[in-house]
Structures are given as C-alpha cells and as structure tokens.
Structure 1
Amino acid sequence: MSIDPAVVENKSPTMSEEEFKAAVQVGNLRKAASIAQQMMKSPGLFEIAVVGESGSGKSSFVNAFLGLADDDIGAAEVGMVETTEWSTIYSHPEYPNVFLWDLPGIGTPHFQSVEHKITDTYLSGYDFFLIVTATRFREIHANLARKIQENAKKFYFVRSKVDQDLGAEKRKPNYSEARTLRQIREDCQAHLQRAGVNDTQVFLLSSWESDKHDFPLLKESLDQELRHAMLQKLLDTSCWTLQEKKTALQKTTRKQADFSGGPGAIPLPGLSLVADMAALMDCMRDYCKDFGLNSDSLSALAEQVGKREEDLKAVIRSPLATDIKIDLVLKLLEKCVGEGVTFLTYFAWSVPVVGALFSAQVSFGTTVFMLDNFISDLAEDTQRVLAKALEGEEKKSRQHHQELNLPVMHGKKPNQSNLSWRQV
C-alpha cells in the first residue's frame, strides 16, 4: 500500500509548537511550560531507521519491538533469505507520530554500499538510527557509525540473537551467562572505540525473548531519546523566538534614548539625572515583564513546573525587576562608558552650552548601548529559566505515560501500517 510522502515527511510546526512559540513571544512562561509538558507526553514526528546487514535480524527486531509475532498481520516479513527489498514504515506501538523504518540489508543490491547510499542527504531523512548486527563488529558497521555521527545524529548499537551465542557457550565448561554477555558487550564497545566512535550505547538482546537481556532497557532508553528530542526541539524554538523578540525590542531603545538625551541637553544641573533615571527604571522594568522575568510570572511558572521560585531565579544573571533602582542603573551606565561618566556629567554642567550638547550625544549612545545589552541579557536569562523549568520533564512525562498503563498496539493505523513507498 502506497502513501503520500507528506503524511510522514511533513515536518512543519504543529499547532502546539506554534502555541508554545506564541506564549514565549508574549512572555507567558507559565503557559509555555504547560504546553511543553503536554507535548512531552506525546512526542512529535520522530523517524527511526533500523539498519544492518541482511540476516542480522532487523525485521524480527522490529516485530518484537512492536509486540508482534512474525506471522501476525502487519508484521515485518522475515525469512532465511533477504526479505526487505523496500524501506518499510511501521508506527510506534505507543506514539502515533513516531515511526520505525525497516531498511534493506546493507550490502544487498537493494541497498548497494555504505559509501554509495549513506550520504548526508540520505541521513537527514531520519532522526535516529538503530544499527543491528547478529555477528561480530565489522568495518561496514564502523563506516556506518562514523557517518551517522559526522552528521550529528545519534544511534544505538544493537547486538541481536544473543540467545544463539549463549546456546553455543553453554556447551563449554564453566559456562557463565553474565560473563558471556559482558564479553560480547566489551567486544562491541572496543571495536566502536577503535573506529573512533565513542559514548555509544550497546544493547544485547534476542528478538525471541523481548522481556530479557537489554530489550526492556532499549525501549526505556529510546523512550528517553524521544522525549529529550522533543524537549530540545522546544528549547530550540524558544531560543529562536527570544532572538527575534530581542531584535524587535532593541529597536525600541532608540526612542527611549531620544527621550533620555533630550533633557540631558538642557543646561540645568540635576534635571537630566532625574528625568533619565525615572524613565530608564520604568523602561527596564517593562522589559523584564515583557520577557516574563518579573515576580508574578516567575511565581506562576514555579507553581506550574513544581519547582521553587528561588531555583528559577538562581539562573538569572541580569537584575530582577524589583532590583532596578537608581544606583543599579547608574552602575550599568557606568559599566558602558567607564569612569568617563562622572567627567562628562561635570563637563555638561560646568560648560552650559557646548558641554550640554556633547552630553546629549553621549547620553543617547550610552543609553542605547546599555538597554541593548540589558535586553540581550534578558533574552539569555529567559532561555535559561525555561531550560531550568523544564529540567527533568522527560522522566516526569515517562512516569505519567506508565501510570496510564497503555496497552501495546498490535494493529496499526490503516494509512500508516506496513507502508513501503520510499525505495533506498
């Protein structure tokens, strides 16, 4: 059964992502966190490629992962000869937007060679990879692993059919299952390291015993990857949104500087100081509120995510709205122009005409520079606050999913099950 590629490959933002972006844009961090928490419970589009040589047990692994027997309707075809001739897609048993792709065996005519087919463009079509092998680690696996990491993608190395290895070892004296599994794992890790591939998880399993060895751990780890990918996507969205907001707000600092520089040009000692400080303090407090870094917003956010408000404030490096006082603003201005602020102020007051005009120009430039920096700091602080607020949500979302006690899906959606429209 064929499928419109747009059904699977449409990666435009969902409505929830747009709502999350809109909440960040207006500084409603509590709503942004609430949307993120909901999205973490059901990860968005995520495509997993199952790759390996012919006969490595890829299709059997896919069936075991989906909770299907090899002869169930909709199961991946398995056999003694190469049976996967096309890239075939299967929906995840728990998440409707997550798909497993069973690819033709590496080295077969349908896949050709790693060098020929594993290109940057090809790899970009998948979010995660499971490299499956039933034999010892070979150079073809090293080439594939390196290429995946070069493209900033992640993968797990799956050593399948360990039941056969254990069966063979049982005939030897002093047999130990734990020692045999440890030796297989260490061998895989050693070959990966020699190939220049580090920090990679290795899972040992048997598709005939999906409740034993590393199979449960693989599912749990992959579940964490899904949620982490969703969280990272949201944080990337917030980062770009805050950058756009920063740019827009920095355009408003010129208007504030005009107001600040005007009174500064009047040769009356003290007038510029009073006018500037009052206006700048109000302006800076408004910026804090715009980003959601005021007390009310932070309190609501802390309540939403179940964290202490003090912990959220601890990652903020710029002044809080309640801390914005005259002495603080003076320190920030002083930081922008150094010790010359005192001299320029005296110069403006002691030379009424020339000094005042010069002071007005300096006041404008200093105010713009200080406010631009302040806005930039607020954008970075907001990103840090959101990251802190959503810290640990992967685990909380997983616990929520487990509490629902959802059954494993043995069937698939009519328009998404056992679909093969993309040839490798």
Structure 2
Amino acid sequence: MSEEEFKAAVQEGNLKAAASIAQQLMKSPSLFEIAVIGESGSGKSSFVNAFRGLADDDIGAAKVGMVETTEWSIVYSHPEYSNVFLWDLPGIGTPNFQSVEHKRTDTYLSGYDFFLIVTATRFRKIHANLARKIQENAKKFYFVRSKVDQDLGAEKRKPNYSEARTLWQIRENCQAHLQKAGVNDPQVFLLSNWESNKYDFPLLKESLDKELRHAMLQKLLDISCWTLQEKKTAMQKTTWKPATLSGGPGAIPLPGLSLVADMAVLMDCMRDYCKDFGLNSDSLSALAEQVGKREEDLKAVIRSPLATEITIDLVLKLLEKCVGKGVTYLTYFAWSVPVVGSLFSGHVSFGTTVFMLDNFISDLAEDAQRVLVKALEGEEKKSKQHHQEINLSVMHEKKPQPIHLSWRQV
C-alpha cells in the first residue's frame, strides 16, 4: 500500500478503498524524525538505548559516559517503524550544540518533526526557552524526566515513604517550574533508563506511537484534501456540457424565472456527481462497514444532498438561489470560453445552471473530505489507548463565489 494508491482511490471516489489503504499505512508511518535533546549528562543517549531496547554496551547502542560523548547529531532507527528515526543531539550548552549549525535555531528545529527534551533534574529556564522556540516553529514535544529511580532511592530512607506520592511530587514540581517559565500545559514523563517497563516509560512509548499515527493520518488527510480540490477543479471545467443539454429541446420554462431547464438532465447529472465523489448510499454503506462505524454517522457530516434526495423541487430551489449570480458568472464564462460562451451570451439559463453545478461540485468535494475525516477518526487510537482526544479539522478551499449553496438552506 502506498500514498499514491490512497490518492488514486480518493480521485476515483472509492472511499472504502481509500480508508482501507489509510488503515494499512497507519500501521507503518512515513518518514518521521524525532530529536532527543537535553543537557550533557541528562541521560539522552541512555534513553535512546532504552527506547530501542538496547543495553549501553550492546552493538549499535548510542555511546554513553561520564563526560559528553555525543559530539555530533547521530541518528538511530526506531525499534518498530523503519521510517522513523531518533536523533541523539549534542548536549545543550556544549560547544558542539552552539556551533554555527545550531545557532540558526529556526532552521535547525525545522529539520525535525518532534522533540523529546530530557533532563535528569528539575527543568530549568534553558529547557523552557527551547520548548517555546519549538512551539513557535509549530512543532510538538514531550518533557522527559530521567533517572527518577535515583530520586526514589534517596526518598526510601525517609519515614512514611510512598513511591506514588514521590512520583506525584516530582511531576508537580517539574510542571510548576515549566509553567512558571511560560510553557503551557507541559507533558512530563517520569522514567528510568534502566527500567523501561516501569514508571512512565510504557506511557511515553504509547503516547509517541499515537503521535506517529496521528501525523500519518494528518498527512493522508492533507493528500485527500488536495486531491479532492484538483478533482473539483477538473469537474467544474466540464459543467458547461450538462448545462448545454439542460437548455436543449427538452427544456421547460421555470415558473417565475427567466430561464429554462431540463430537470431530468440536471437531476441525473447531480446524482452522477454524488457517485463520482463516493457520496451515494452504496459507497457510504461500504465505507461504514470498512471502518466499523454507523452509516448514519457518516451521513451526518454531509451538508449537500445525497443522490436519493435530489428531486425536481430541490434543483428548482438551487436554481432560484443562483439567479442573478449566473449572469455575472456567464460574463466570465463567455470571456474564458468564447466559442461556447458566445452561443449562450443572451440566455440567463446557461450561466445560472453552470454556476449552480459548480457550487454543487464544490460542496461535494468538501463533503467527501468531511466523510473521510469522520471515517478515519480515531484510527490512530485503535491499537493503542490514550487519555487524550484527537481534534481533526477539515481542510477546505474557500470558494470564490459570493454565496454558499448549502442545500439545507434553500
């Protein structure tokens, strides 16, 4: 399965196939680069090893030591995903971190998709400044408080020792310092590099897995958005054909309007458009079965009419909504397509019909994107449970026309 296959399925209006491909792609995220950053001695390299399931002395493990051992940024593969990499960066404040490459912070940060800011003690202003810079670059990050096993070992000598209470105090202290330094809602994970099955290590892996899958989902939704916009533009270039047919011998005058149209031609055309975008009942039923959702829930996000809801009355109301706008549109159309435009320059019918169909196609493109968003919603959480909710937004291009022809408003 590939992103090109996903794009082709969206282009064909096969939303079931698109969802199926997306589900497979989410199991193997595309290129994603994670920067592990922190002060020298914070346990960055040991963290990278523990995350990858390696001991510090294993072959292929990151070099660790009592002094700064990471002189340059070194990349390591993710233990589960072939396209995901962890970058062990030189320690904050070391000469290598302050080299020419690292002084241009914006350019430097843009090279990574996600950040893990590691410290072995409390988080300080230097960490908060880095976090704010990451946020300014529209990137995400987690704070990792390593070596909590050492803190717990020291606390065990005290009377009334409680591991849960001690961990809570460490977490509260970290979050308080970060918030005081201006970091909003910091996510802090407490862990030991020597016990990767304890404390917050499992939750960190689970949360990062969710971030990877979410990033893949967002990428696919971006692809579907642009694919649908391209499809919309291509289809709008052909609306003059059904507009011409609707004004042919079978056309009838519409009561109260200075135009004529063949309702049967327009209804068949609009129903075909619904099918082309995968918004007919059969396609939606197949999609619902593929993603394990109710068909009614998918239909609930659709704002344009389904194929079965396209009636003479609805088409008439949409045309009524477009009268006047069609004249302006026809002027542009006659200029851009002079051969066809000149044939109808004296008829409001043609411009109105083209304008209505163009708006209908635009609405369908947005609806197809909404349906895909709804269908794939939560896919990144199916294999891993997490406490946070995902907020998916629909990307859509604003139409240049001055009105929006939502069928529920006519």
Partner of 2:109: 123
Structure 1 segments unaligned to the other structure (5+ residues) = 1-14, 342-356, 400-424
Partner of 1:142: 128
Pick which of 230-239 and 251-260 moved more: 251-260
Q: Does residue 1:310 correspond to 2:296, yes or no?
A: yes
More helix as a share of residues: 1
Separation in 2, partners of 1:189, 1:133? 13
Q: Does residue 1:394 correspond to 2:380, yes or no?
A: yes
Partner of 2:242: 256
Aligned residues of 2:36 and 2:44 also touching (Cα < 8 A): yes
Map 1:235-384 → 2, pairs under 5 A: 235-261=221-247, 275-337=261-323, 361-384=347-370
Judged with a 3 Å threshold, the aligned counterparts in structure 2 of structure 1 residues 286 and 360 are, in CA distance, closer, same or farther, namely farther
Partner of 2:210: 224
Q: Deviations over 1:336-371 (max 9, x none)?
A: 238999xxxxxxxxxxxxxxx999632222212211
Q: Does residue 1:202 correspond to 2:188, yes or no?
A: yes
Is the partner of 1:41 in helix, strand or coil? Answer: coil
Q: Deviations over 1:95-127 (max 9, x none)?
A: 111111111111101111799536222112111
Partner of 1:405: none
Map 1:43-58 → 2, pairs under 5 A: 43-58=29-44
Aligned residues of 1:312 and 1:385 also touching (Cα < 8 A): yes
Aligned residues of 2:301 and 2:371 also touching (Cα < 8 A): yes
Task: After TM superposition, give the deviation of residue 275 of structure 1 in Å.
Answer: 4.4
Is the partner of 2:382 in helix, strand or coil? Answer: helix
Separation in 2, partners of 1:268, 1:135? 78
Separation in 1, partners of 2:71, 2:238? 60
Partner of 1:412: none
Normalising by structure 2, what TM-score? 0.83
Q: Does residue 1:172 correspond to 2:172, yes or no?
A: no
Pick which of 318-327 and 248-257 moved more: 248-257
Task: After TM superposition, give the deviation of residue 273 of structure 1 in Å.
Answer: 7.5
Separation in 2, partners of 1:241, 1:56? 45
Aligned residues of 2:254 and 2:260 also touching (Cα < 8 A): no
Structure 2 segments unaligned to the other structure (5+ residues) = 328-342, 386-410
Separation in 1, partners of 2:325, 2:32? 55
Partner of 1:104: 90
Is the partner of 1:132 in helix, strand or coil? Answer: strand
Partner of 1:344: none
Normalising by structure 1, what TM-score? 0.81
Task: Pick the aligned partner of 1:81 from 52, 62, 67.
Answer: 67
Aligned residues of 1:24 and 1:241 also touching (Cα < 8 A): yes
Is the partner of 2:2 in helix, strand or coil? Answer: helix
Is the partner of 1:246 in helix, strand or coil? Answer: helix
Separation in 2, partners of 1:24, 1:266? 37
Q: Does residue 1:25 correspond to 2:8, yes or no?
A: no
Task: Pick the aligned partner of 2:119 from 106, 116, 133.
Answer: 133
2:266 is aligned with what amino acid? L
Aligned residue pair count: 370
Partner of 2:402: none
2:300 is aligned with what amino acid? A
4+ residue segments displaced more than 4 Å: 113-116, 261-270, 272-275, 338-341, 357-360
Partner of 2:392: none
1:33 is aligned with what amino acid? A
Of structures 1 and 2, the one with the larger relative CO (CA 8 A, separation 6+) is 1
Separation in 2, partners of 1:269, 1:234? 47
Judged with a 3 Å threshold, the aligned counterparts in structure 2 of structure 1 residues 359 and 71 are, in CA distance, closer, same or farther, namely closer
Separation in 2, partners of 1:194, 1:361? 68
Q: Deviations over 1:178-232 (max 9, x none)?
A: 2221122112222322333223311001101111110010011111111111111
Task: After TM superposition, give the deviation of residue 168 of structure 1 in Å.
Answer: 2.2
Separation in 1, partners of 2:347, 2:146? 72
Aligned residues of 1:53 and 1:107 also touching (Cα < 8 A): yes
Separation in 1, partners of 2:254, 2:46? 85
Separation in 1, partners of 2:86, 2:253? 74
Q: Does residue 1:156 correspond to 2:152, yes or no?
A: no
1:143 is aligned with what amino acid? N
Is the partner of 1:249 in helix, strand or coil? Answer: helix
Aligned residues of 2:101 and 2:108 also touching (Cα < 8 A): no
Is the partner of 2:93 in helix, strand or coil? Answer: coil
Is the partner of 2:157 in helix, strand or coil? Answer: coil
Separation in 2, partners of 1:223, 1:267? 61
Aligned residues of 2:326 and 2:352 also touching (Cα < 8 A): no
Judged with a 3 Å threshold, the aligned counterparts in structure 2 of structure 1 residues 103 and 48 are, in CA distance, closer, same or farther, namely same
1:49 is aligned with what amino acid? A
Aligned residues of 1:316 and 1:385 also touching (Cα < 8 A): yes
Separation in 2, partners of 1:184, 1:247? 56
1:77 is aligned with what amino acid? K
Pick which of 326-335 and 111-120 moved more: 111-120
Aligned residues of 1:281 and 1:326 also touching (Cα < 8 A): yes
- CA-based RMSD of the aligned residues comes to 2.9
1:35 is aligned with what amino acid? I
Aligned residues of 1:106 and 1:113 also touching (Cα < 8 A): no
Separation in 2, partners of 1:158, 1:182? 15
Q: Does residue 1:92 correspond to 2:81, yes or no?
A: no
Pick which of 235-244 and 258-267 moved more: 258-267
1:152 is aligned with what amino acid? A
Task: After TM superposition, give the deviation of residue 269 of structure 1 in Å.
Answer: 8.7
Judged with a 3 Å threshold, the aligned counterparts in structure 2 of structure 1 residues 358 and 225 are, in CA distance, closer, same or farther, namely closer
